[in-house]
Amino acid sequence: MKKWMQNIRTVTPYTPGEQPKEKNIIKLNTNENPYPPAPGVQKILEGFDTDTLRLYPDPASTDIVHAIAEYYGLSDDKVFVGVGSDDVLAMCFMTFFNSDKPLLFPDITYSFYDVWAELFRIPYRQIPLDENFEIRPEDYKTECGGIIFPNPNAPTGIEMPVERVEEIIRSHPDVIVIVDEAYVDFGGTSALPLIDKYDNVIIVQTFSKSRSMAGMRVGFALANPELIKYLNDVKYSFNSYTMNRTAIACAAAAMKDKAYFEKTCRQIIEVREWAKQELKSLGFTFGDSKANFIFARHESIPAEELFLALKEHKIYVRYFKKPRIDNYLRITIGTKEEMQAMFDFLKEYLGEKGR
Ligand SMILES: *Cc1c(COP(=O)(O)O)cnc(C)c1O
């Protein structure tokens, strides 16, 4: 071993879902939105004055912060933005989880949490979901340095009622609780009102899923001004200019188009509910997803086999070869046509198998 090895920060990185270069595939593997961003985003990019790129962007990203604050009826000092919610969450880990006691999160959840904990040397403990893949607030009633969970949870899609979220926040007044609401816009209930009731809660959301802008990288945190100030202090100690000029302009435009946002979310919810019926009739079982994906297993065919057969047929879904969930597929809700193509293939495949 080379001597300098002992000074290296070695980590096992997060593995994002595949982004195949191939055209003409049906991509249901990374929870992207099948519809384009709000039309105002196109207009911004068409009219964008490239000369302004000589100049650094607004370090406070005021235009996005203000558009988000307006949308949720908050003051600007309750909003923090970052380069996707991954950046926002990483900043939160760095800012708020500095205890010797373990950070708590579910055993089956967003697989970036343990990666950040390792990266930032934060002790952590993964709390098993119950047998129905639900989070039990009782299991979190232990000494800890902080708590984080998505609601609805990923990759299960299952939502915890907001009263139970509140129970977790209320029973841990001495640590910060982060509610990762990446999927809340697809029919879930946000814990946002709790930021005015408790000083220890942070809501994190993203433009990547419900606002069709995964490629632009914009996410945000909502909390009381004191917590937002701590986050900004860390951000300005790390990188002052996180949001580029195009991202600021495009995200602000997207946030202002409430009608388009509501329409596309409604379409995804409709297709999801129809997809649940189709999956059921094909012999799949799944929890009641409130997200833009369904986490399903088949009654007789192993998930890995289905994953590979679908991929062979250019239909990409997500498969996690991990304990407890290695017989499940996470299927993103695409357009009705994309979902129909997947069901047509599955019908034929399962029919041949005489399932
Ligand atoms: C997709 C996702 C994120 C991160 O999304 P960004 O694209 O970085 O905004 C964060 N948390 C969960 C649970 C997600 O599924």
pLDDT in tens, 210-234: 999 999 999 999 999 999 999 999 9
Report the C-alpha gap between 27 and 15 in whole angstroms. 17
CA 37 to centroid of ligand 1, rounded, Å: 17
State in Å: Cα 261 to ligand 1 middle: 18
User: What is the CA(255)–ligand 1 centre distance, in A?
Assistant: 18
> What atom in ligand 1 is closest to the CA of residue 31?
1
Instruction: Report d(CA 333, CA 34) in Å as an integer.
Output: 8
The position carrying tokens 């595949």 is 18
Q: How far is the CA of 16 from the centre of ligand 1 (A)?
A: 10
Is 200 within 8 Å of 175 (Cβ atoms)?
A: yes
Check if the beta carbon of residue 224 is closer than 8 Å to that of residue 196.
yes
Distance 206 CA to ligand 1 centre (A): 7
Pocket test for ligand 1, best of 178, 186, 208, 332 (most atoms within 8 A of CB): 208
Ligand 1 atom 14 nearest Cα: 182
CATH fold for the domain made of 10-36+259-353: Aspartate Aminotransferase, domain 1 (3.90.1150)
332 CA distance to ligand 1 middle (Å): 14
Q: Which CATH architecture has domain 39-257?
A: 3-Layer(aba) Sandwich (3.40)
Residue 9, judged by CB atoms within 10 A of its CB (0-12, 13-18, 19+), counts as exposed
Predicted pLDDT of residue 252: 98
pLDDT at 355: 62
Distance 351 CA to ligand 1 centre (A): 36
Residues with CB under 6 A from ligand 1: 31, 84-86, 110, 150, 154, 180, 182, 206, 208, 214, 219
Residue ranges, CATH 3.90.1150.10, the chain? 10-36+259-353
Residues 6+ apart with CB under 8 A from 204: 85, 88, 89, 92, 178, 179, 180, 181, 182, 219, 220, 221, 222
What is the number of the ligand 1 atom nearest to the C-alpha of 89? 10
Which residue's alpha carbon is nearest to atom 12 within ligand 1? 182
Distance 170 CA to ligand 1 centre (A): 25
What ligand 1 atom has the least distance to the C-alpha of 86? 8
Which ligand 1 atom lies nearest to the CA of residue 208? Answer: 7
Specify the ligand 1 atom closest to the Cα of 154: 13
- How far apart are the CA of 31 and the centre of ligand 1, in A? 9
Q: Which residue in 161, 98, 109, 162 sits closest to 133, CA to CA? A: 109
Token couple for 8: 């290296």
> What DSSP character marks residue 93?
H
Task: Name the residue with the closest Cα to ligand 1, atom 2.
Answer: 182
Model confidence over 241-276: pLDDT tens digits?
Answer: 999 999 999 999 999 999 999 999 999 999 999 999
Q: Is there a contact between 103 and 97 (Cβ–Cβ < 8 Å)? A: yes
Nearest in space to 261 (alpha carbons), one of 1, 67, 7, 50: 67
pLDDT at 58: 98
Which segments of the chain belong to CATH 3.40.640.10? 39-257
pTM over 0.85: yes
- Out of 209, 293, 333, give the residue to mutate to test ligand 1, the one with the largest number of ligand atoms within 8 Å of its CB: 209
Which residue's CA is the nearest one to ligand 1's atom 11?
182
Distance CA 105, CA 128 (A): 9
* Atom 1 of ligand 1: nearest residue by CA position: 182
**How do the pLDDT tens digits run along the chain, 355 residues long?**
899 999 999 999 998 888 999 889 999 999 999 999 999 999 999 999 999 999 999 999 999 999 999 999 999 999 999 999 999 999 999 999 999 999 999 999 999 999 999 999 999 999 999 999 999 999 999 999 999 999 999 999 999 999 999 999 999 999 999 999 999 999 999 999 999 999 999 999 999 999 999 999 999 999 999 999 999 999 999 999 999 999 999 999 999 999 999 999 999 999 999 999 999 999 999 999 999 999 999 999 999 999 999 999 999 999 999 999 999 999 999 999 999 999 999 999 999 877 6
116 CA from centroid of ligand 1 (Å): 13
DSSP, collapsed to helix, strand or coil, labels residue 119 as: helix
Look up residue 88 and give its amino acid.
V
Strand locations in 85-217 (E)? 103-106, 124-127, 146-150, 177-180, 201-206
CA distance linking residue 110 with residue 150, whole number of Å: 7
